Amino acid sequence: MNEVVVSNIEKRVTDILFDFFRSVKLTIFLLILLAILSIIGTVIKQNAPIEEYIRRYGVGLYHVLDFFNIFDMYHSWWFSAILLLLVVNLIACSLHRLPGVWRQIFRDSSPKGLQDSMLKTLPYVERIELSGSGRVDEDEIRSNLKRRFTFPKRIEGEALVTFYSEKGRFSRLGVYITHLSVVIILIGGLIGSLFGFRGFVNILEGETVDQIILRAKDGNIVKPIPFSIRCDEFNITYYDLDRPEKHVKEYTSVLTILENGKEILKKTIEVNHPLHYKGLVFYQSSYGSIHEITLGVQRKTGNEKTVLKALEGETLPIPNSNAKIRILRYAPQVHNFGEGVQVALLKPDQSPQAVWLLKERPQFDQKRDDDFILTLEGTTIKEYTGLQVTKDPGVWIVWIGCSLMVLGFIASFFFSHQRTWVRIPVKAGGEIVLAGTTNKNKVEFEKKFGELVEEIRKKSSEF
């Protein structure tokens, strides 16, 4: 008895869970929730630096939003859980209704012909009375059905012959193909979210790199790539070259893929025309310029000067010293003293020291009272191309899902399941009975069914 009670309880719990997951209300709720979250993810910039979030929202609100992973919501566990719940919901809805539809598609419709009991349920029924000697040409019936619907099946009875024509049987699967496509798209999106990434890299003209930068809430992360990429050329095209105000028309980069020092692929990319290689996609997303700074390092005890070159943001060691120098920023005018550059001196066991170097006052750094003097020798402006780099292993799964969705829409909206019966007497006299039904697009079916009735009525009156 206890086993029976437990079994009934388990069955009831299973039914409750299944009813919950196949609920249309759950589908609508999840779709609305995803729409709202997508709006939030659009309004709140994703994967920006922490400082930007704190400056915009304040420390308190930042910690609250960060706790719920709002700043990287598309990679959060709860967003993936919502997508998985939607997948389960669609599968449950399909499994609940698909078996019945499947049986309707593959059952042998009307094996005994058109029965009188069926005439009470079919929406379109017409009767044509025949005279006592009137007969019907079966070839005419078959030809009319083939022309307006499909080639009919002949079902012979004792006193009656039924021609059965069925069209668009598999159109009933359109909605389930659409459900499957959405499931595949969601799975592809989850795969891309879990195993893909989006980063960026700035490449100077003529420079070669083998790593990219990924943005994370704790700072940028350097990620190596399995090949090298070189920017051979960067070009900017402007509108209205004769005007003093220049507006950019387009910007392009000539990129070369290198492996083991050999050129593998070369392509010119522009906005919306990326470079694809080994699962990575390089998009032309930005451009800019950066200063290359030339510094002089001279020992106080010697006259020899060492020349160093570095870009803004780079750090390089000072020769014959345990110190390093980081180029912070270049300024064309520093308090009316002319152009200068701010650098940070990095020494072991000492706090970083920021100093300004002035080109027109080369002896300015002597006040620092160190064993070497730094001078600004010159600057050069270099242009770089900004590339967005993405990897999405689920993109082909998403494309397959999109293709299936198009097929599902075509099957659902452009095709209908149409069934037509024409029952005729074997002997002279009697009546012709025409019946039909369709699951959608009733206007078109009514037109074709009416034409069939009139054609058969016309032919039958000739006998």
Q: Is the pLDDT of residue 108 over 70?
A: no
Query: What is the overall mean pLDDT for the chain?
Result: 84
Q: Is the pLDDT of residue 400 over 90?
A: yes
Stretch 268-281: mean pLDDT: 90
What burial letters (b/e) apply to 326-341, b meaning 16+ CB within 10 Å?
bbbebbeebeeeebbb
Question: Which pLDDT score is estimated for 462?
Answer: 59
Stretch 87-97: mean pLDDT: 85
Q: Is the pLDDT of residue 230 over 90?
A: yes
Confidence of residue 18 (pLDDT cuts 50, 70, 90): confident
Segments in 196-225 forming alpha helices (H): none
Question: Which pLDDT score is estimated for 244?
Answer: 64
Stretch 232-244: mean pLDDT: 77
- CB-based burial label for 423 (10 Å; 0-12, 13-18, 19+): buried
Q: Is the pLDDT of residue 301 over 80?
A: no
How far are the Cα atoms of 126, 127, 143, 156, 224 from residue 138, in angstroms, in the given order?
Answer: 18, 17, 8, 12, 76
Contact 90, 24 (CB under 8 A): no
Confidence of residue 407 (pLDDT cuts 50, 70, 90): very high
Confidence of residue 318 (pLDDT cuts 50, 70, 90): confident
Question: Which pLDDT score is estimated for 7?
Answer: 61
Question: Which pLDDT score is estimated for 19?
Answer: 81
Per-residue pLDDT of 188-199, as tens digits, reads 988 888 888 888
Question: Which pLDDT score is estimated for 171?
Answer: 84
Contact 137, 208 (CB under 8 A): no
Structure tokens at 78: 């709860």
Strands (E), 260-410: 262-269, 275-277, 280-299, 305-311, 315-317, 324-331, 340-346, 353-358, 372-391
Question: Which pLDDT score is estimated for 120?
Answer: 87
Q: List the single range of 65-79, 232-246, 352-366, 426-440 with lowest mean pLDDT.
A: 232-246
Structure tokens at 275: 């470079």
Confidence of residue 429 (pLDDT cuts 50, 70, 90): confident
- Among residues of the chain, what percentage have pLDDT more than 70? 93
Q: Is the pLDDT of residue 109 over 60?
A: no
Q: Is the pLDDT of residue 218 over 70?
A: no
Contacts of 454 (CB under 8 A, 6+ apart): none
Which residues on neighbouring strands pair with residue 222, listed in sequence order?
Answer: 213
Contacts of 99 (CB under 8 A, 6+ apart): none
Contact 310, 376 (CB under 8 A): no
Query: DSSP states of 93-109 as a string?
Result: HHHHHHHHHHHHHHS--
Task: In whole angstroms, give the CA distance from residue 393 to residue 189.
Answer: 9
Question: Which pLDDT score is estimated for 461?
Answer: 64
Which residues on neighbouring strands pair with residue 54, listed in sequence order?
Answer: none
Model pTM score: 0.68
Question: Which pLDDT score is estimated for 338?
Answer: 86
Task: In whole angstroms, give the CA distance from residue 75 to residue 59.
Answer: 23
Question: Which pLDDT score is estimated for 251?
Answer: 84
Question: Which pLDDT score is estimated for 136?
Answer: 73
More confident residue, 138 or 218: 138
Question: Which pLDDT score is estimated for 33?
Answer: 92
Looking at residue 273, the DSSP 8-state letter turns out to be B
Question: Which pLDDT score is estimated for 219?
Answer: 67
Confidence of residue 267 (pLDDT cuts 50, 70, 90): very high
Confidence of residue 15 (pLDDT cuts 50, 70, 90): confident
Contact 86, 186 (CB under 8 A): yes
Question: Which pLDDT score is estimated for 41?
Answer: 85
Q: Is the pLDDT of residue 448 over 70?
A: yes
Per-residue pLDDT of 47-58, as tens digits, reads 777 878 888 888
Residue type, 227: F
More confident residue, 366 or 2: 366
Structure tokens at 309: 């070159």
Question: Which pLDDT score is estimated for 9?
Answer: 65
More confident residue, 48 or 146: 146
Question: Which pLDDT score is estimated for 5?
Answer: 58
Query: Which of 218, 212, 195, 217 has its CA nearest to residue 47?
Result: 217
Stretch 154-175: mean pLDDT: 85
- Among residues of the chain, what percentage have pLDDT more than 90? 13
Query: Which of 168, 207, 173 has its CA nearest to residue 385?
Result: 207
Contact 230, 258 (CB under 8 A): yes
Q: Is the pLDDT of residue 104 over 70?
A: yes
Q: Phi then psi for 94, rounded to 5 degrees?
A: -70, -45
Looking at residue 245, the DSSP 8-state letter turns out to be S
